[in-house]
Amino acid sequence: MDEVGPNESQELEDESLGRWQPSQLAFGVYSADGNSVKKSQALRVVVRKPLVARLTKDIVETYQICNPQFKYSEELNPKRYLTSPSIGVLNDGLDNVNSDLILAVNYALVNLETEKRYIVKDVLGHGTFGQVAKCWVADTNSFVAVKIIKNQPAYYQQALVEVSILTTLNKKYDPEDKHHIVRIYDYFVCQRHLCICFELLDTNLYELIKINHFRGLSLSIVQLFSKQILRGLALLKDAGIIHCDLKPENILLCTSVKPAEIKIIDFGSACMENHTVYSYIQSRYYRSPEVLLGYQYPSNTNYNIIQPLAFKYTTAIDMWSFGCIVAELFLGLPLFPGASEFDLLRRMIQILGFLSQALARVIAVSKSDGSAISTSASLIQTGNKEINMFLLRKFVGGTS
């Protein structure tokens, strides 16, 4: 008779008792001594990254696997220029022919005094003053807008005025940021260009109207924005500052707060009310009558003689621009889309009627076709009817 092993005898004993147990050859008794945990820890699952990831964002690691001696340097990257034209002509090749600093992606604007670095990521816009770049600040882990002024003395000096005005508004008149004026964070000179750092804002009101297919905004939104613009203008009046270029493009949304707010930007043309410098100010669609009519004359001046006097304007010109902006927000189109100053004055008279006694001016036409006009500095006290008929004949085509 064959011998019975211990496992088989155990099985026979279990069968005699009516119990079935699996064979010890295939199954083992579970024990909580930690051996199974150690075995599971010994097992490792290797997950391979997708091929697309290895060949794009992880391409450097892929190259280093193929060649351990491979080293990557951002300085050797092909530059993606953001400034056009991007050919260096001025300032030792750093500026283009327009005196703009040639910017590329990841170009570093450095404040040498504080050693703060602003890494350029994109260009938000450009104009006669220079360009505005979207920059990353690693110290604060945030984006900012940096206005880079052209490398020309006139723009540099005017930009310093902008810095002075905004610093005064932010620190003295609006330290708690409640009057919808853009915040200035820093300013410095980099590569002979004055750089001004602002808070990063969103879309301007013109783009908002454009997104709405020029159909105008709802009355509730127009009221909301109008109140906020008025708070900013009230602050400017208290400070005796004239913006001089108020328009939808210079009013930006601030979406970082809820509900959305607006902020007034671009004080590059601003001046103090007691120190008006320029006579050619304000964008045409939003230009006030007193600025539009230009040179000034005394009330008794002959129409054919041009004798320009000192021209003074006040914060009232910003209120005219404000009225034009509110109308455009509601209508979706400019209220006075004049193709020229002549056309602009004609549209004003068509919509608002003849100049009132308070706004009447003596107008001298320097050309027979009426293409160039200028006016007097003093208000007309008498002869309002005669002046209105003169305007009618020259600009509307009426008869006396």
Query: Please, what sign has the CA dihedral across residues 184, 256, 227, 325?
Result: positive
Angle at 235 between CA 145 and CA 143, to 5 degrees: 15
Of 95, 245, 266, 318, the active-site residue reads 245
- SS3 at position 175: coil
Q: Which segments of 255-392 are extended strands (E)?
A: 261-264, 271-272, 363-365, 373-375
Neighbours of 142 (CB within 10 A): 11
**Separation CA 87–CA 70 (nearest Å):** 32
Q: Residue 145 contacts by C-beta under 8 Å, 6 or more apart in sequence? A: 124, 132, 133, 134, 135, 197, 198, 199, 200, 201
d(CA 361, CA 380): 6
38 is in an annotated binding site: no
Clarify whether 139 is annotated catalytic.
Answer: no
Q: In what order do the strands lie in the sheet with 116-126?
A: 108-111, 116-126, 130-137, 142-149, 193-199, 184-190
* 192 neighbors 151 (Cβ within 8 angstroms): yes
Binding residues for ATP: 147
Indicate which residues carry an active-site annotation: 245
Going by the annotation, the residues of the binding site are 147
